[in-house]
Homo-oligomer: A and B are copies of this chain.
Amino acid sequence: MAEVSNQTPLSDDMLRDMNRYWHAANYLAAGMIYLRDNPLLREPLKPEHIKNRLLGHWGSSPGQSFVLTHLNRAIKARDLNMIYISGPGHGAPASLAHAYLDGHYSEIYPDCAESEGGMRRFFGRFSFPGGVGSHCTPETPGSIHEGGELGYSLSHAFGAAFDNPDLVVALTIGDGEAETGPLATSWHSNKFLNPIRDGAVLPVLHLNGYKIANPTVLARIPEEELEMLLKGYGWKPYFVSGDDPEPMHRKMAATLDQCLDEIAAIQRHARDNDDPTRPRWPMIVLRTPKGWTGPKEVHGHKVEGTWRAHQVPVTDAATDRKSLHIVEDWLRSYAPHTLFDEAGKLVDSLRALAPEGARRISANPHANGGTLCKALDMPDFREFAVEVKAPAASYTSPTEALGRFLCGVMRRNMTNFRVFGPDETASNKLTAIYEASGKTWIAESEPDDADGGDLAPDGRVMEMLSEHTLEGWLEGYLLTGRHGFFASYEAFVHVIDSMFNQHAKWLEKSKKELGWRLPVPSLNLLITSLVWRQDHNGFTHQDPGFLDVVTNKSPDVVRIYLPPDANCLLSVADHCLRSRDYVNVIVADKQPHLQYLDMDAAIVHCTKGIGIWDWASTDQGCEPDVVMACAGDIATMEALAATQLLREHFPELKVRFVNVVDLYRLMPNDDHPHGLSDRDFDSLFTTDKPVIFNFHSYATLVHKLTYRRKNHANFHVHGYRERGNINTPLELAIINGVDRFTLAIDAIDRVPKLRGVGDHAKEWLRGEIIAHQAHAYREGIDAEAIRDWTWSA
């Protein structure tokens, strides 16, 4: 097992002081759980000092505080630019304690000053209503990592390190967390980190042996096996194991020095020789008891080093005398009176161990990315416009046009913009990006690898077949103040539903409640390879339901756009790339689609977010007989074709054509800032006329957004009905009822004055459906009748 043999970087004095610093952090972590009063134990501990309800998690804190104490020494000794990510579940007390000890916590939250009263409040707000919980949240200074859901610490760390050549991202990975899929594959991120251009990631895999109630897999395999696993992932692991603090401090200090020396040597070599060959980055495996330094035994049960140390090690301190003594003995074992001065502040000799100012791990500006964020240097998106001479007369792949624009963005922002996609950038027709930059790849490569996008150590297009890793990288990149764009197949964006949820929650908290966190670039998520064009992938690739997940999040942080064509997509993308603190979800397909608006019209339309297309309407500003509305590319095309069919059959019929780009326009304006007022909504959709709404996704989402509108009872929404197989586009539209014929039939049924009169037309339309289906079953997938159509004015 690789252990560092020279264990003498610490003088005895330094070791003693570091141990005391660690004790101070442990004292605070325990105090947060237990003390409502008597925070410095200046009087004997009494039941009334104990919190009424004991909440919090002790298990992971001492190990993480140990790591942080050692990182402090390294930062000071080497003047490191370092941030820290706390991966293990419920590990916040360690980060909170260190932020309090280095003074930054009190700067941000002055009510928690460095005083006895401040410490009481610091303890009090932990697991208290309106306070802070037991995992790292946006409220935690120095953190970019939402610790509530496990699995993303390592990918977040890499995201932070990309394009930050001087930054070292240290992180602790919990051995529970390490069992998750996202964490397990994110070890491979080292094949995507360029030692010349990017910073370093230093993982500490913390084997404290237990999750909530079970031992962990990685702690219960032979150490040789674990070492092979980590080496197999491409890392160079060093082991630091034990429970006796003194030798552990020596080992940890020596090992940390070894790792940081190696990191420096790797970077020096790579940068001096312009050699980005994949290094074997060092990492640490730290094996310590769970709840280290906590109570050894309670009520006859072993606690330290077992699952019993996970949460509150002594639960009856307020009611059981013996338990109260255990807690008091435990807290006093850290000798708080020697750690904090009269006023209640950490004594100067210990404070001197912490870095200063922005070097403090709780105050590093990279962990508050908005402070470092530079706006993108944006090209004029109008220059990437697709020529549209007449509506619905020519075809273009919207994402192909977007690719050219993103290429332009990339060219001007070669240090703070990246594009992410799971091996699908080319499949999603964003290939033009590669003209500005290739794909990041630090593994082996071969001459025939290039598929239009070169594999290159300095590529800026990130592709790995793991949506989890990409999303984690992107979040880490954004939260440290840079910009990004993520494209994913629509059906499989559900893979990162929960990551989206957590990021949206992070944004909401930081934006609405934490003035000290400055806005960060939005997370721009392009959903493509859409449900309606899964010609040969079929049913499994048909799920447009991510929008339902999105609409459950706070209106303050989510936006959804369904640009109907390429120019609208460009306008929307430009807007999103300039925005801050949102998750922007853009739905646009990669296949060639009909184009409707020239760039000027597209800008007007996207700025309004919803609007009447006069050229497709026959109501001439009067009250229409029927409103044909739509959102989404295929939905728009079919709605337009339906309008044309209606016009052919009923020249006198007044049809108003409404297209929706910004989905939240549909919501009432008191529910969402983008929402239309009732007055504006009614003026578009009328208050009593039938509305045939053709929607990209599941129909119920439109009802969810509009149910409070006056005319809602007249909304007849068509959308995906979970019916699919290998289908031609038109056939798929037909079986889900979003095709032109079904829409036209629905309109005829809903317009009172067509009742009876429309029967003949309906019969003809039904015949068309049957004819097209027969054609599809005869001719196969190549029967792309859906495209054999243009608008005739």
Chain A residues engaging chain B, CB cutoff 8 angstroms: 36, 51-53, 55-56, 124, 127-135, 137, 146-151, 176-177, 179-186, 188, 191, 211-217, 220-222, 225-234, 301-302, 305-308, 423-427, 439, 441, 443-446, 448-449, 451-453, 455, 463-466, 468-469, 491-492, 494-495, 497-498, 501-502, 505, 508-509, 535-541, 543, 545, 548-549, 551-554, 698, 700-701, 703-704, 707, 712-713, 722, 725-728, 731, 776-777, 779-783
- Complex Cα–Cα for A376 and B37 (A): 55
Partner of A726, one of B52, B131, B307, B541: B131
Asked if residues B133 and A726 are in contact (CB atoms below 8 Å), the reply is yes
- Complex Cα–Cα for A424 and B55 (A): 18
Closest to A500 in B: B494
- Complex Cα–Cα for A51 and B535 (A): 15
Specify which chain B residues have a CB less than 8 angstroms from the CB of A448 in the assembled complex. Answer: 301-302, 305-308
Give 11 pairs: A residue, B residue, CB < 8 Å, sorted on A. A51-B780, A127-B536, A127-B781, A130-B727, A133-B536, A213-B451, A220-B445, A305-B448, A545-B548, A551-B700, A552-B698
Q: Which 4 A-B pairs have the closest CB atoms?
A: A148-B540, A229-B232, A181-B181, A53-B782
- Nearest CB of B to A194, in Å: 16
Q: A545-B552, A552-B722, A704-B703 are in contact. Are A179 and B215 (CB under 8 A)?
A: no
Partner of A130, one of B233, B505, B703, B726: B726
Q: Which of A130, A213, A302 has the most CB of B within 10 A?
A: A213
Given A179-B188, A179-B465, A225-B231, list of 8 further CB < 8 A pairs? A128-B780, A131-B726, A133-B540, A133-B725, A150-B465, A180-B466, A181-B183, A548-B548
Partner of A137, one of B55, B131, B538: B538
Closest to A302 in B: B448
Specify which chain B residues have a CB less than 8 angstroms from the CB of A444 in the assembled complex. Answer: 215, 220-222
Asked if residues A536 and B55 are in contact (CB atoms below 8 Å), the reply is yes
Asked if residues A712 and B707 are in contact (CB atoms below 8 Å), the reply is yes
Partner of A497, one of B137, B147, B191, B497: B497
Specify which chain B residues have a CB less than 8 angstroms from the CB of A426 in the assembled complex. Answer: 212-213
Asked if residues A181 and B182 are in contact (CB atoms below 8 Å), the reply is yes
Asked if residues B134 and A214 are in contact (CB atoms below 8 Å), the reply is no
Asked if residues B494 and A212 are in contact (CB atoms below 8 Å), the reply is no
- Complex Cα–Cα for A176 and B424 (A): 12
Specify which chain B residues have a CB less than 8 angstroms from the CB of A229 in the assembled complex. Answer: 228-229, 231-233
Asked if residues A494 and B492 are in contact (CB atoms below 8 Å), the reply is no
Partner of A549, one of B502, B540, B549: B549
- Complex Cα–Cα for A703 and B781 (A): 38
Asked if residues A541 and B148 are in contact (CB atoms below 8 Å), the reply is yes
Q: A232-B231, A423-B213, A539-B509 are in contact. Are A307 and B220 (CB under 8 A)?
A: no
Specify which chain B residues have a CB less than 8 angstroms from the CB of A466 in the assembled complex. Answer: 179-181
Asked if residues B780 and A536 are in contact (CB atoms below 8 Å), the reply is no
Asked if residues A494 and B505 are in contact (CB atoms below 8 Å), the reply is no
- Complex Cα–Cα for A732 and B441 (A): 47
Asked if residues A727 and B129 are in contact (CB atoms below 8 Å), the reply is yes
Asked if residues B180 and A185 are in contact (CB atoms below 8 Å), the reply is yes
- Complex Cα–Cα for A728 and B131 (A): 11
- Nearest CB of B to A89, in Å: 9
Asked if residues A149 and B781 are in contact (CB atoms below 8 Å), the reply is no
- Nearest CB of B to A546, in Å: 9
- Complex Cα–Cα for A455 and B216 (A): 12
Asked if residues A149 and B181 are in contact (CB atoms below 8 Å), the reply is no
Asked if residues B179 and A464 are in contact (CB atoms below 8 Å), the reply is yes
Asked if residues B179 and A180 are in contact (CB atoms below 8 Å), the reply is no
